[in-house]
Structure 1
Amino acid sequence: MRFITCSSYYGTGSSAITDFVSEFDNVYSFTNEEFRFIQDPDGISDLEFNLVECFNRHNSGHSLKRFKRLVDFYSGNVFGKKYSNFFGDNWKKVSYEYIDSLIDFSYHGWWMYDLYDRGPFFYFRKRIINKILHLTLWRNNHDRVLNTMKNEVTYCSHPSEEKFLSLTREFIYKLFSSVNFDSKDIVLVDQLLPPNNLNRYLRYFDNNIQTVVVDRDPRDLFVLDKYVWKDGIIPNDPDIFCKWFEYTRSHRKTENLNTDQIHFIRFEDLIYDYDNTTRELIDWLKLDSSLHSRPRQSFNPDYSIKNTKVWRKIPECKNEIKIIENKLSEYLYNFDV
C-alpha cells in the first residue's frame, strides 16, 4: 500500500491535488474528506508526546482517554457518519485495538481531570459531597477524600519510541487495509499530514507516503474568505491577516519542502502552467501516465481559474489588497508572467 496525501494551510486549494490524482486508474481515493486524526489536538502526535516524550503518571493515561474521545467524535453520529462512512465499524474497532496495544496496565482509579473533562457542573457536583463531609463528619480529617468515581479506569502507558512507532504504523496500515481497494495499489487520502513539522509525522509511515504541500496567493485567500466563503476561520482584518499568513508559513524558512516525500506547489501553477506542473507531479509521485484515463474530469483548470485573481473582481477590497501586497510581497503569485 502506498499513500499519497496533500497538506494545506486552509483554503489554499489542496483539493486540486486529490482531484487530479484521483483521475488515475490505479488510485483509490477517499475523496476530499479530511482525515486529520494524526495531526489534530489529542491525535496521534499528541499521544506520542504524552506517552513517550513527556511521560508522567497523570498525563499519559489521560491522553489515551482524550484520543479515544477523538476516535468517538470522528466516528460520527446520526447527524453525520464522518469516518465510519468510509471504514464502517472498523474505524472504532481498529482504533480501540490500537489504544489497547499501547496500554501497559490499568486499574480502577481517577484524578481531577477525569472530572474536569466532563465539565464544571459534573466536577462541582462530584466534589460538593466532599465539601459537606469536611464541614461535618470529617471536619477533623481534611485529608480524607470520598471516592465518587469508583468505576473510572486509569490507564498506564509508557512505550519506547520504537514501540510507539511500530504500533502506530501497524494501526494505520490495518485501518486502511480494512477497506476494499479493488486491487488498486495507491491510496489517496486528504490532509493526513500538516504542512509543517513534517519530519515528525512522516515517521508514522514506513516510507510509503508522499505529501504535496499546497499554497496560494494571499490576496485570493483573503478575499475569498472575507467576501465569498464568509466562514470566519481566518482573520478578516488585513493587518492581522498578514501576521497570520506569515505565522503559518514561517516554518518554510527552516524546513525543506522538496524531498522524496515532500513536494511544495503553488495552486496557481496547476492552473496557469497545467501541463508542466502536472507532468512534474506525475514524475515525482511515480504515477503511470498511461493510467491517467480521466484527465481534467475531476480537476479542470479551465473551471478552477475562476477562483484566481478574485480580488480584481471586488472593488471594495482595493485598500485591503494594497496592505497585503506591501506586507506579503514575497508570497504573491506573478500572474503577469
Structure 2
Amino acid sequence: MISQASYTPIVVIGHGNSGSGAIIDYLRGRPDVYDPLKEEFRLIQEKDGLADLEKSLTGSFDICAAAPAIEKFKNLSFRLGRRSRKITLRPRLGLGYSNSHPEYNTLIEEFLRNITEYKTKKQWTSNKLDFTLPQWVMFKLFKTSPYHNSIPVRHEKFENAAHSLIQKLFAPPNEFSSHTSIDQGGSFFSPLKSTKYYGDKRRVIVVTRDLLDVYTERQSKHGKRAKNYVAYMESLAPHIRIDEYSDPKVERVSFESFIFDHEKEKNRICAFLGLDPDTRSQFDPNLSKKNVGKHKKHLSKKDQETIKQGLSAVWPFPTTWS
C-alpha cells in the first residue's frame, strides 16, 4: 500500500511560455511554502525520466527494454543533480538538484536499489547497439561490460519506491511548512496522471495564457511564421486530456487574470490549496504586467488574425484575445 505525504505537494504546470513562473514566484515568496529545488523539476517528464522508466517496466514487459531504461534513468538523474556550465558544446541539462537538496543523490541511489531485483553482467543485443566505440572494443577484447544490467522489481514495488522517492525529495524540513511547491513537475497534457507520484494530497495548478503572447515569445521556434505555429498547436491540442482538468485536484489559472485581477485570483488559489490568503508574498504582480499584451507591439494584424482564426475552434480552453 502506498503511504501518503504528510504535506500538500503543489505542482505548477504550464505549456511553453505560459506564465506559470508568476504562480511559482508567488508561492516561493510566501513564508509558509517550501521549495527545496528552486528549479524546474524535470525528473518525471524528461526523456528517460520517471514516466519513461515506468512505461519500460510495465505493460508488455521486455527485459531488453527494461534494463537499459534503468541505466538511462540513472544517467539522467545524476545529470540533473549536477550544475551545468552556462556554455557547453551540447546541452547538459544540469540543474544542480544535489546543490539545492543535500540528500538528492542519496535518495536517487536508494530508489535505484529499491527498484532493482537483481544485477547481471549479461549484455543483450539492444545494449550493444548503444555501446560507444571504446566500450565496444573493450567488450570484444576483454568481455568487459560498461555497466551491469538491472532486473527490475514488480510494478507494485516500483510504484511504492517512486512515491517514496518523491515524498522524501519534497518533504518540508519542519512542521512550519505544510505545503511544498514543485515547478513543472508534471505534464500540461495530462495534469492528473502525470502527477500521480505525488499522492492523493497533491494539488495541481495549470497555467494558460493568451496564445498571441505565447507566439510572440516563441516566434523564432516556428520560423517567424504564424501559420507554422497554428499547425503546431493544432497537432498538440488533441493530446490534451481535457477530462483530467475537471478533477478536484486540478485547477486552471489564467496568467492574465492572475496579474490583473490578482487579489481575486490569489484568494481562489489559496482556497484551492488550503493556504491562508492573508499571508503576504514577496511577489509583485505589477512587475509582470509588461508581459501581457506583448503581441500588440510585435505581431502584425495579419499574424494576429491567422492565429485567432486558426486556433479559436481547436484550443480547448477559453481564450480572451487581448
Q: Under a length normalisation based on structure 2, what TM-score does the superposition of the two structures give?
A: 0.85
Aligned partner of 2:218 among 203, 212, 225: 225
1:309 aligns with 293
Aligned partner of 1:195 among 168, 171, 188: 188
In the TM superposition, 1:174-185 aligns within 5 A as: 174-177=168-171, 180=173, 183-185=176-178
Q: 1:301–1:250: structure 2 CA closer, same or farther, 3 Å change rule?
A: farther
The answer on 1:47 being equivalent to 2:61 is no
Q: CA deviation at 1:283?
A: 1.0
CA distance in 2 between partners of 1:108 and 1:17 (Å): 47
2:104 aligns with 91
Structure 2, unmatched stretches of 5+, are: 1-6, 86-93
Structure 1, unmatched stretches of 5+, are: 130-145
CA distance in 1 between partners of 2:99 and 2:37 (Å): 12
Q: CA deviation at 1:277?
A: 1.6
* Equivalent pair of 2:258/2:266 in contact (CA under 8 Å): yes
Q: Secondary structure at the match of 1:198?
A: coil
Q: Secondary structure at the match of 1:53?
A: coil
CA distance in 2 between partners of 1:184 and 1:93 (Å): 23
Q: Secondary structure at the match of 1:194?
A: coil
Note the aligned Cα RMSD (angstroms).
2.5
Q: Aligned partner of 1:323: which letter?
A: T
2:125 aligns with 112
Q: CA deviation at 1:205?
A: 2.5
CA distance in 2 between partners of 1:150 and 1:334 (Å): 58
* Equivalent pair of 1:105/1:156 in contact (CA under 8 Å): yes
* Equivalent pair of 2:12/2:205 in contact (CA under 8 Å): yes
1:148 aligns with 143
Identical residues among aligned pairs (%): 22
* Equivalent pair of 1:258/1:264 in contact (CA under 8 Å): no
Q: 1:185–1:24: structure 2 CA closer, same or farther, 3 Å change rule?
A: same
The answer on 1:206 being equivalent to 2:206 is no
Aligned partner of 1:169 among 139, 143, 163: 163
Q: Secondary structure at the match of 1:180?
A: coil
Q: Secondary structure at the match of 1:221?
A: helix
Q: Aligned partner of 2:124: which letter?
A: W
CA distance in 2 between partners of 1:168 and 1:248 (Å): 28
Q: 1:123–1:157: structure 2 CA closer, same or farther, 3 Å change rule?
A: same
Q: Secondary structure at the match of 1:212?
A: strand
* Equivalent pair of 1:109/1:152 in contact (CA under 8 Å): no
Q: 1:325–1:148: structure 2 CA closer, same or farther, 3 Å change rule?
A: same
* Equivalent pair of 1:216/1:266 in contact (CA under 8 Å): yes
Q: 1:40–1:150: structure 2 CA closer, same or farther, 3 Å change rule?
A: closer
Q: Under a length normalisation based on structure 1, what TM-score does the superposition of the two structures give?
A: 0.81
